[in-house]
Structure 1
Amino acid sequence: MSRDRRRRRHPAPQGSPTVAAPAPRVVVAGGGIAGLAAATGLAERGVAVELFERAPYLGGRVGGWTTTLPDGTRTGMSRGFHAFFRQYYNLRALLRRADPQLAGLLALPDYPLVDAHGRVDSFLGVPRTPPWNALAFVARSPTFAVRDVPRLNARAALSLLDVRVPDTYRELDDLDARTLLERIGFPPAARHLAFDVFSRSFFAHPQRLSAAELAVMFHLYFLGSAEGLLFDVPRAPFHLLWQPLAAYLRRSGATINEGTAVHRVEQGGTRRLRVHAGERVVDADAVVLALDVAGLREVVDASPGLGTGPWRELIAAQRTAPPFCVRRLWLDRGVGSGRPAFLAVGGQPPLDNISLLDRYDSDAAGWATRHGGSVVELHAYAATGPRERVESELLARLRAVYPETTRARVVADRVEWRADCPLFAPGTFRHRPGVLTPVDGLVLAGDCVRVDLPVALMERAATTGWQAANQLLARWGVAGHDLLSVPTSGRHTVLRGLAALLR
């Protein structure tokens, strides 16, 4: 349950509880979080929804599949760790459709960060409510001492303390995250440990990440929210996470087609839009394109009559972040019992995170129990250099951070490389496509889509999915779905007033 009484509710357009017969038909392209949210929002109001997902599983970048280990074990595999933060209100609302109590999620007790010198920042026991969370964190941090506070540039620091969405994007988006932190004067150790870890969670180096994104992220996870920086993780592998929601959608009348991609959309047909998906042609009253950057570009490029010239150029200009690597290892020995389930690593490239899956994932826990071993996942965000070198360096870093793994034999090894996350580079916010498009009946959703709310990553995908559904429901006079967010501006009147004076 939410602990933040200052969270913001964003009311949806009002209208009839369901659509009038005959129900409009909507095609949703993409079965990731955004597509699932859009499909759910529409199907719940009686819309005839048909969803197409090119992968053989749902969840998009948070989906999963199974793999066979050398011992014959079938087990879950995915693209890597995902943290379900408590301020991901709209994502959690989606999951609650099939799991009202969120019993499928498990709370992790801490989110420690370690640097190359072994200094550890921890959020265990840190108050959740701002500003006490920041004060307690600074008081306990080995990388950010109280004596460092007077050295900060107050004018620049207030950009983190007085975030206002979307104004912060207009003020800071042309600046990169590293330059902002240098202007503020954060101690190098604190900057590299905490903020570099944050920026790399966007799969980008700090110099390639918008300073506005960093400021909004700081607001979302820390000074703008009383939910805290701790999070939940799925108890079961990702290939099982979305099955209950898929069943819920089917009970709501939706049709789901996995392993079938939408590759072209045309205006016309027996309804408003004609969709080419696999070998099929489907006429629809509306279409939701809930695709990653490459998929969206491909569909628009293959649909020459779709949209205006400037809009098509906008879509073509979207870019993806650098590639990232996930290496999962099944080891014949356990990792130390005192090790956290998740560890963020700073200053030890290419390693960014170490996850001990057997501490929370049911598949991994079962394998580790049977074999007396452990299942470890290593992440390299924004990885550079030859892939073989990155993969070997990840293993070397693991053995340096957790020396007990040096003697462990690798029983099974799986490596996943991807390069499909949006790049939020400086100066790009005003050039991001929005939910609405120039094409009547066509809307967009996904974490690459602009939304003027303080959301990020999975929550941005879920929020835009609900927004896409709301836009279509409003055109049919049907009630939409309210959205929630952390406060859209700084929580404290004094800080806001001081920031206004210094601007």
Structure 2
Amino acid sequence: MNRDRKRVRHPAPQGRRSATGRRVVVAGGGIAGLAAATALAERGAAVELFEREPFLGGRVGGWTTTLPDGTSTGMSRGFHAFFRQYYNLRALLRRADPDLGVLSPVPDYPLVDAHGRTDSFEGLPRTPPWSALAFALRSPTFTARDLLRVDRGMALALLNVRVPGTYEELDHLDAQAFLDRVRFPPAARHLAFDVFSRSFFADPRQLSAAELAVMFHLYFLGSAEGLLFDVANEPFHRLWRPLEDHLTRHGGTVHTGTAVEAIEPGTRFRVHTGSHVAEADAVVLALDVRGLREVVAASPGLGNRDWRARIARLATAPPFLVRRLWLDRPVEATRPAFLATGGLPPLDNISVLNRFDHDAAGWARRSGGSVVELHAYAATGSAEETGRALLARLHELYPETRAATTVADRSEWRADCPLFPPGGFARRPGIETPVEGLVLAGDGIRVDLPVALMERAATTGLAAANRLLAGWGVTGHDLLSVPVRGRVPPLRLLAALRR
């Protein structure tokens, strides 16, 4: 879409046109690794990508599962929202799909709380601050009295986000403490903040207030792309194949089911992958938290003591559960494709997959049923307890499912997302490392731009490639972002006066 005239282009360093003759190993085939590998291969570097899973895409990857009726269908770690301000992720996908035909718009994603109060994003203005103001004015969870009670001085921090300044100002607070200081109405907090903070797979008490503020800027007050998003209409096991083909056409080599285990620095890097050793001029570590910690721990010559300690201290968020149900009857036609919830633990959202996923839609047509996915982020109980509670919430919110027979049931219980705790930003490792030719990428890696989740992964992957290309005197790839500070000048001035 790219309709925001205030989006910011971050020009890449300029230089020669080709990195021919350079060999690079990319460890990790998630979004960050694919972005780095693609950006390097497009500039002529010989790239080898290693991914420990048998599929690409990382946390947005997928595989197939066979249902009791013999159907082979896609399965994944859950629904993902492709917001229109995910500029760098979309640019990556466009390499192989210029029209982004793999994405379909969601007309709305209602937010409902325990009292049945529902907020909607449909029909709102696209441009801040009018988008957020219209959302608040029509929300059943805001009242004039609530708005008068808000601490306007603290609230201005949300209206004048600066990167990295907001981290310096708010990172010592947790998200819940910050919202307490703002005196944000509790009911509105469930819908306007908890839903988004939990998308980081963390309880608001474990999440940095700065991360919450930057996220609010990215989705609400920093972008004029609107508050709606797109979803993948292909199952994730097919989503990344065109990009893999694009990478291989540019000379890249992809090894799935093969993990990088250790790295020896030297005149050239020696990258150990079990029975194989690859030599390279540079290495991109685009791994999840556990994988990064393990590779660094197994590579004693890599980096200095301080850097290694920062890697070792990286933490993962609490576990989450995705439960996907193939039901023998449809849910009501009025149900949205995606429903977010607040104050209804452990449920965070419900997706009716057959409304947008081609595999799920085909199964629903043939069977007369439906495919429903339930998410629980930052789960506090066991997988079994959480799964039972999710089903009870589904029956509560969509009562027609009580009488449905479950044809198939698949669950994914994971605990591998990065945690962004209070006070963690200053020690978060960045893209550059103490080792020349070694760079990091991933959604847990620091980059001083207003990005999050999948967009942070894509951005750090491209930025990591740019860092290597700049070192070789080769032109990199421009990056895009929402504005790096609040977009309304009078509010920026007022916030500066209140600091």
- Superposition TM-score tier, normalisation by shorter sequence: over 0.9
**Counterpart in 1 of 2:224?**
226
Residue 267 (structure 1) shift: 1.2
One of 411, 415, 421 as aligned partner of 1:415: 411
Q: In the aligned structure 1, how far is the partner of 2:148 from the partner of 2:393?
A: 35
- Aligned CA-pair RMSD: 0.7
One of 287, 292, 296 as aligned partner of 1:300: 296
**Counterpart in 2 of 1:38?**
36
Query: Structure 2 counterpart of 1:262, which letter?
Result: V
**Counterpart in 1 of 2:252?**
254
Q: Where do residues 324-339 of structure 1 align in structure 2 (5 Å cutoff)?
A: 324-339=320-335
Q: In the aligned structure 1, how far is the partner of 2:53 from the partner of 2:26?
A: 14
**Counterpart in 2 of 1:88?**
86
Q: Matched residue of 2:134: which SS? A: helix
Q: Where do residues 119-134 of structure 1 align in structure 2 (5 Å cutoff)?
A: 119-134=117-132
Kept in 2: contact 1:449–1:464 (CA 8 A): yes
Query: Structure 2 counterpart of 1:126, which letter?
Result: L
Q: State the aligned residue count.
A: 499
Query: Structure 2 counterpart of 1:474, which letter?
Result: A
Query: Structure 2 counterpart of 1:114, which letter?
Result: V
Structure 1: tracts of 5 or more residues without a match: none
Query: Structure 2 counterpart of 1:16, which letter?
Result: R
Kept in 2: contact 1:138–1:146 (CA 8 A): no
Q: In the aligned structure 2, how far is the partner of 1:436 from the partner of 1:419?
A: 26
Q: Matched residue of 1:429: which SS? A: coil
More divergent stretch after superposition (138-147 vs 472-481): 138-147
**Counterpart in 2 of 1:13?**
13
Q: TM-score under structure 2 normalisation?
A: 0.99
Residue 470 (structure 1) shift: 0.3
1:148 to 2:146 alignment: yes
Query: Structure 2 counterpart of 1:28, which letter?
Result: V
Kept in 2: contact 1:159–1:215 (CA 8 A): yes
Residue 155 (structure 1) shift: 0.5
Residue 500 (structure 1) shift: 1.2
Q: Matched residue of 1:52: which SS? A: strand
Residue 147 (structure 1) shift: 3.5
Residue 192 (structure 1) shift: 1.5
Q: In the aligned structure 2, how far is the partner of 1:193 from the partner of 1:89?
A: 26
**Counterpart in 2 of 1:55?**
53
1:442 to 2:438 alignment: yes
Q: Where do residues 278-289 of structure 1 align in structure 2 (5 Å cutoff)?
A: 278-289=274-285
Query: Structure 2 counterpart of 1:412, which letter?
Result: A
Q: In the aligned structure 1, how far is the partner of 2:428 from the partner of 2:181?
A: 27
Kept in 2: contact 1:272–1:441 (CA 8 A): no
Q: In the aligned structure 2, how far is the partner of 1:114 from the partner of 1:278?
A: 49
Cα deviation code 1:405-445 (max 9, x no counterpart)? 11111110000001000000000000100101011110000
Q: In the aligned structure 2, how far is the partner of 1:193 from the partner of 1:137?
A: 11
Cα deviation code 1:362-400 (max 9, x no counterpart)? 000000111110000000000011221111010000000
More divergent stretch after superposition (31-40 vs 383-392): 383-392
Query: Structure 2 counterpart of 1:136, which letter?
Result: A
Q: In the aligned structure 1, how far is the partner of 2:455 from the partner of 2:469?
A: 21
Q: In the aligned structure 2, how far is the partner of 1:502 from the partner of 1:299?
A: 45
**Counterpart in 2 of 1:98?**
96
Kept in 2: contact 1:324–1:382 (CA 8 A): yes
**Counterpart in 1 of 2:338?**
342
One of 222, 226, 236 as aligned partner of 1:238: 236
Structure 1 residue ranges, 4+ long, deviating more than 4 angstroms after superposition: none
Query: Structure 2 counterpart of 1:209, which letter?
Result: L
Q: TM-score under structure 1 normalisation?
A: 0.98
1:476 to 2:486 alignment: no
Query: Structure 2 counterpart of 1:180, which letter?
Result: F
1:27 to 2:22 alignment: no
**Counterpart in 1 of 2:349?**
353
Q: Matched residue of 2:200: which SS? A: coil
Q: Matched residue of 2:485: which SS? A: coil
Q: In the aligned structure 2, how far is the partner of 1:278 from the partner of 1:251?
A: 27
Q: In the aligned structure 2, how far is the partner of 1:237 from the partner of 1:28?
A: 25
Residue 16 (structure 1) shift: 1.1
1:459 to 2:463 alignment: no
**Counterpart in 2 of 1:266?**
264
Q: Matched residue of 1:207: which SS? A: helix
Cα deviation code 1:449-498 (max 9, x no counterpart)? 00000000000000000000001101111000000000000011110111
1:496 to 2:492 alignment: yes
One of 256, 271, 277 as aligned partner of 1:275: 271
**Counterpart in 1 of 2:193?**
195
Residue 148 (structure 1) shift: 2.1
Q: Matched residue of 2:263: which SS? A: strand
**Counterpart in 1 of 2:428?**
432
Residue 182 (structure 1) shift: 1.0
Q: In the aligned structure 2, how far is the partner of 1:276 from the partner of 1:19?
A: 24
1:316 to 2:312 alignment: yes
Q: In the aligned structure 2, how far is the partner of 1:194 from the partner of 1:152?
A: 14
Query: Structure 2 counterpart of 1:192, which letter?
Result: H
Cα deviation code 1:110-156 (max 9, x no counterpart)? 01100011110000001110111011111110011234222110100
Kept in 2: contact 1:152–1:184 (CA 8 A): yes
